[in-house]
């Protein structure tokens, strides 16, 4: 599930395309990452409400937040979940970090990944492996997640990955095309991180890609 499916945002997007000025103001407010997460993530006792779906919190709750809006989204999750959060990590672009109450923040390279991107992705995999059958992982995704959260496949170096991204950027490849390549040379993208999760996995996605194709957002 993702924020890209919010009917309110879809309505504003249609109005924006028609040139509605008021819609622009409302869309900016509604698309604020912090507000957006608080709008769809609610807690009633041990029941977690996400959009119109209900999840019973039976074990521990973990949080991974990646992208340029990672801190804003994670802060909202902290405010909603409070002490239910057992552990987590927030990964964002250099200069975008904020101090959070419970979650550790790592700043990493963007648009090209760096050693911190690899460090963050390894930490994310460790957290995913912690998620047991009764636990829940909340995965918060925003634009820029591909670069700041990067772990090359076996046999591929970080330098190879950076060079590939540079070549794709220089040749004018679209973000969908760049991310399609990134998925095949990464150990965490394209759903690979999700395979490590044994419990519930809830994803909230903020789109920075035209027409909001979920598979193209942060790969």
Q: What residue ranges do the domains of the chain occupy?
A: 58-216
Taking only the tens place, the pLDDT of each residue in 28-58 is 566 689 998 999 999 998 899 998 899 999 9
Whether the full predicted model's pTM is greater than 0.85, yes or no, is no
Taking only the tens place, the pLDDT of each residue in 180-206 is 888 888 899 888 999 999 999 999 988
Q: Please state the CATH superfamily assignment of the domain spanning residues 58-216 in this structure.
A: Glycerate kinase, MOFRL-like N-terminal domain (3.40.50.10180)
Three-state secondary structure readout of the chain: CCHHHCHHHHHHHHHHHCCCHHHHHHHHHHCCHHHHHHHHEEEECCEEEECCEEEECCCCEEEEEECCCHHHHHHHHHHHHHHHEEEEEEEEECCCCCCCCCCEEEEECCCCCCHHHHHHHHHHHHHHHHCCCCCEEEEEECCCHHHHCCCECCCCCHHHHHHHHHHHHHCCCCHHHHHHHHHHCECCCCCCCHHHCCCEEEEEECCCCCCCCHHHCCC
Taking only the tens place, the pLDDT of each residue in 118-132 is 999 999 999 999 999
């Amino acid at each position: 599930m993702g924020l890209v499916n919010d009917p309110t945002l879809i309505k504003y997007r249609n109005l924006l395309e028609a040139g509605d000025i008021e819609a622009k103001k409302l869309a900016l407010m509604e698309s604020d990452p912090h507000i957006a997460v608080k709008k769809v993530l609610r807690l009633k006792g041990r029941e977690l409400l996400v959009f119109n779906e209900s999840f019973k919190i039976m074990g521990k709750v973990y949080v991974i937040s990646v992208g340029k809006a990672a801190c804003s989204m994670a802060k909202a999750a902290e405010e909603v979940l409070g002490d239910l959060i057992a552990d987590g990590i927030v990964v964002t672009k250099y200069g975008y970090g904020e101090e959070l109450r419970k979650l550790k923040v790592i700043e990493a390279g963007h648009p090209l990944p760096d050693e911190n991107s690899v460090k963050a992705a390894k930490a994310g995999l460790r957290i995913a492996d912690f998620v047991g059958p009764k636990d829940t992982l909340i995965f918060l995704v925003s634009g820029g997640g591909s670069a700041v959260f990067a772990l090359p496949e076996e046999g591929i170096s970080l330098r190879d990955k950076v060079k590939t991204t540079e070549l794709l950027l220089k040749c004018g490849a679209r973000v969908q095309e760049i991310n399609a390549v990134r998925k095949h040379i990464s150990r965490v993208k394209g759903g690979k991180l999700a395979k490590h999760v044994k419990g519930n996995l809830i994803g909230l996605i903020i789109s920075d890609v035209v027409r909001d194709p979920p598979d193209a957002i942060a790969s």
